[in-house]
Structure 1
Amino acid sequence: MTKKQFSRRSLLASTSAAVTYGLAGCIQGEGDSEETTTGTQMGAGASDFDPANPEFPQPMRALIQSGFETGTLEDLENMETRDEPRYGDPVQQTPSNDDDLIDPDKLAFAMTPTEDPAAYRDTMQPLMDNIAKETGKEVEYFPLQSYASMIEAMRSERLHVGGFSTGPTPFAVNLAGAVPFSIQVSDDGAFGYRLWLATQADNDEINGLDDLSGKRVAHSEPSSNSGNQAPRALFENEGVTPGEDYEVSYSGGHEQSILGVANGDYDAAPVCSTCVTRVANSGNVDPTNIKVVWASNPFPTTSFNYRYNLTPEIQDGIRKAFIDYDYSDTKIAETFEGRGKWTEIDYATAYDIILQIQEKNGVEYQTGNLEE
């Protein structure tokens, strides 16, 4: 791991036209029933996929091979800043009164909850070492089992630095005083993920959103952004209303959704692109047997946050530990698909599409609305 000064690139929010395009989702297949291609035919033409001008349906394999599961720095550069979030509260400002600041002896760090709450302890050690170096504070890993408990820990000042995944990030801002300041990127600037609508490659009845009527469609779980909240908002914007035009079945997760599609348990599923790419790369699903019939613009992935009322010196040290170091030669990059660097973000800007989705879905920022 080496220290170097990256350009502190800010994520920018869309212009009004681009925002409309982003919420609408996006990129939709244009073939009609007379011109659709079968899974076998698409497999033969996989090399023809152009990420700059995507057309659907496409084999899942072609999207993975082209890196279409993530966004790029070009996507970021085509956005404009927002001064205030369109929904919910803005990020809280650092208090001007010293009495309102906190200066803990130890800084508690946590990552997004997993089945094994301590799974990321060793992976994130290089980062925690640099937080300690830059702040002069001891850093301890704080394993937590749910987003609700993670948000409560930051709200009560027991958690000071944490990675919140996409959907819970606005909850952390509105309920816990979190300041989202960075996301991970790879050496070539890849970031985030997309929402894909996947079905069987040989399913000739589904080649776009309009074909979901009356079908068995798996959403992952209620609090998931790409697995439930995003499709409810973005699909409706395209004229397809989940729960009305098709019955929603909750699978329990993105892996369960894509495996259910592969096994024929569901006709289709909206899934997180990077999640199902990991499933394919692990050999648990054959991407040649899956096709993607619709895809969204990229979403930001896990945001990294500190609590707003940490002293300015601690805040600055935390930022430096993330932004000024290259972790490409550590377990961090190995674990997170080569994303060994961080770039700065502005919450109102980077999470604009997420806030649009949550506003459209009537999300209320209460811990009870976070699924355990």
Structure 2
Amino acid sequence: MLRNATRSSLLYALLLPLMGSAHAADLSTRYTDSNGDMVADAPTDETKWVDPSTLIFAYTPVEDPAVYAKVWDGFLQHMEKVTGKKIKFFPVQSNAAQLEAMRAGRLHIAGFNTGSVPLAVNCAGFVPFTMMADKAGNYGYQMEIITHNGSGIDDVAGLRGHTLAFTSPTSNSGFKAPSALLKSEFNLEADKDFKTAFSGKHDNSIMGVVNRDYDAAAIANSVLAQMQARGMVKPDQYKVLYTSQTFPTTGYGYVYNLKPELAEKIRQGFETFDWEGSALQAEFKSSDGEQFIPITYQKHWEVVRKIDQAMDVSYSCDK
């Protein structure tokens, strides 16, 4: 269940005048999509199926990879039992590295952040099929623009002339959504009306604001909630200037050319994982992580593709 549907419709209306020439479906020519679901089909030639003895899993590079290796350990042990394969956690350092690893065949199962999912689908053959949700089936996060209490910034208009930190160009909440929304709603353009910086990760942006390295930052509030739950950030260290509609959160799936029987076992691994008392629940409960629910790229990433169109982003990667 996607919350803030009314605000989602408002976003569409605001973005329509900004729509660029990017296409919603732009699969690389190395893939086929015969059923029109906008993701790569498994190869029809069985000799091109991949069935490795060890599967590589990577979670989106949000924070210290060592922390998340421990968080995902119990889940990966469960996945080993379901698939009959060894599973290795791959600590990626950047979105670009994660995308390249899957495109090159070195990554088999992954959780890509919201903004990277379209690139992963179209350029790396990623097949997303699930995401985290709370027990009631609610999912998603909001993009927030935060500032520290001594910045002198009281509202979004007050960003003019200050420095706003983004995370990376592929991030939905860390770059694309705030850039589009600031232009459409407030007529503020990056490097024209305000200065920009790129922190690399949401936690870097959040700590940069708390430590007053940045005047403000565009972040995913799910990451902020996790950091608050661990005591890394306190509510009185920042204030929220803007909260967006709800976006889909990290998309989980596998690379398109896995042997179909193996791909199905991976789906079963996500579906049958017992969250109760797990490290995953402890880490993600504060951001609606208490179960995996089925999703489709075509439906659940529509709003993200709309933002990409507004930013004139193309998913073409055949150059």
TM norm structure 1: 0.69
Shift in alpha-carbon separation, 1:259–1:14, aligned structure 2, 3 A: closer
Counterpart contact for 2:2–2:139, Cα < 8 Å: no
Structure 2 Cα separation of the partners of residues 196 and 12 of structure 1? 17
Tell me, yes or no, if structure 1 residue 102 matches structure 2 residue 50: yes
Please name the residue that 2:10 is paired with. Answer: 21
Greater per-residue helix proportion: 2
Q: 1:348 aligns with which of 288, 298, 305?
A: 298
In structure 2, how many angstroms separate the alpha carbons of the residues matched to 1:139 and 1:200?
A: 41
- 1:160·1:306 contact (CA, 8 Å) conserved in 2? yes
Whole-angstrom distance in 2 between the partners of 1:141 and 1:214: 42
Match of 1:196 in 2: 144
Structure 2 unpaired stretches of 5+: 16-22, 28-37
Q: Is 1:240 aligned to residue 188 of structure 2?
A: yes
- Aligned pair in 2 of structure 1 residues 116, 257: CA closer, same or farther (>3 Å)? closer
In the alignment, the residues of structure 1 paired with residue 263 and residue 112 of structure 2 have an alpha-carbon distance, to the nearest angstrom, of: 17
How many angstroms does 1:265 deviate by? 4.8
Runs of 4+ in structure 1 displaced over 6 angstroms?
Answer: 11-15
In structure 2, the residue matched to 1:297 is 245
Structure-2 separation of matches of 1:260 and 1:150: 24
Worse overlay, 198-207 or 172-181? 198-207
1:137 is aligned, of 85, 93, 99, to 85
8 Å Cα contact 2:146-2:240 kept in structure 1: yes
- Counterpart amino acid of 1:191? Y
Distance in 2 (CA, whole Å) between partners of 1:240 and 1:343 is 37
Q: Which amino acid aligns with 2:11?
A: G
Aligned match for 1:363, one of 294, 313, 318: 313
**Structure 1 match to 2:222:** 274
Structure with bigger gyration radius = 1
Change in 2 beyond 3 A, CA 1:355/1:321 = same
Instruction: Tell whether the 8 Å contact from 1:255 to 1:275 is kept in structure 2 after alignment.
Output: yes
SS at match of 1:194: strand
User: Which residue in 2 is equivalent to 1:69?
Assistant: none
**Would you say how many aligned residue pairs link Structure 1 and Structure 2?**
298
| Cα separation, partners in 2 of 1:169 and 1:13, compared to 1, 3 Å | farther
Deviation at 1:277, TM superposition (A): 2.8
**Residue pairs, 1:1-372, within 5 angstroms:** 19-23=8-12, 86-89=24-27, 90-113=38-61, 116-201=64-149, 206-207=154-155, 209-238=156-185, 239-337=187-285, 339-365=289-315
Give the 3-state SS of the residue equivalent to 1:297 in structure 2. strand
Report the AA paired with residue 348 of structure 1. Q
- Asked whether the 8 Å contact 1:106–1:137 carries over to 2, the reply is yes
Partners of 2:14 and 2:141 in 1: CA distance: 13
